[in-house]
Amino acid sequence: MTTNGPIADTFHPADIAFVADNLRDSDRAEIQASYAAEPLEALTRSVQASTLKWTIRDGDLVIGIFGVGAVSMMSDHGSPWLLATPDIENIRMTFLRQSRICIGRMLDQHSFLENWVDVRNTTSVKWLKWCGFKFDEPQPFGVEGRDFHRFYMKRG
């Protein structure tokens, strides 16, 4: 799905370092609370584990990367993720419309999508709700034991 909008299948390894260096504070805090990893390490692992991944751009400016990785080799469940720079706000409406298309592509490959989001990451929580994900009540998660929502979506 190469598009005329901000989300494109074109992906360059250099995008990882740029996004990691310019990450939104809320994404940085979520990575720290979840895994106590540096953003570059977390983003590199996410990209390497992904069955689908997209770079989000505004012209030539890299704004973020998102995708989905297989939960395990024994199931067709996927784990969606998104890490972005603050510039994602500049293309919010276009990104929102296109992200639903990408979620549909994730569901073409995975019958069930699930992951965790830090309750403090309110922008991501709103985006996930807008995309149609359902949420469990917050519960302690990750190395810091902070409150996270498990979010999920089933195909069909």
Instruction: Encode pLDDT of 113-144 as tens digits.
Output: 999 999 999 999 999 999 999 999 999 999 99
1 in any annotated domain: no
Model confidence at 2: pLDDT above 60: no
15 lies in which domain range? 7-154
101 in any annotated domain: yes
104 in any annotated domain: yes
Reported for 69-75, long-range contacts at CB under 8 A and 24+ positions apart, including other chains, are 70/110, 71/114, 75/112
Q: Write out the DSSP string of 33-86.
A: HHH---HHHHHHHHHHTEEEEEEEEETTEEEEEEEEEES-TTS-EEEEEEEE-G
The mean of the pLDDT values for the chain is 92
Q: How far apart are CA 97 and CA 77, in angstroms?
A: 24
42 in any annotated domain: yes
pTM of the entire predicted model: 0.90
Number of other CB atoms surrounding residue 145 within 10 Å: 10
For 73-115, write each residue's pLDDT tens digit: 788 999 999 999 999 999 999 998 899 999 999 999 999 999 9
Q: Looking at residue 71, what is its pLDDT?
A: 87
For 34-64, write each residue's pLDDT tens digit: 999 999 999 999 999 998 999 999 988 999 9
DSSP state of 119: T
2 in any annotated domain: no
32 in any annotated domain: yes
78 in any annotated domain: yes
CATH number, residue 131: 3.40.630.30
Looking at the structure of the chain, the number of domains it has is 1
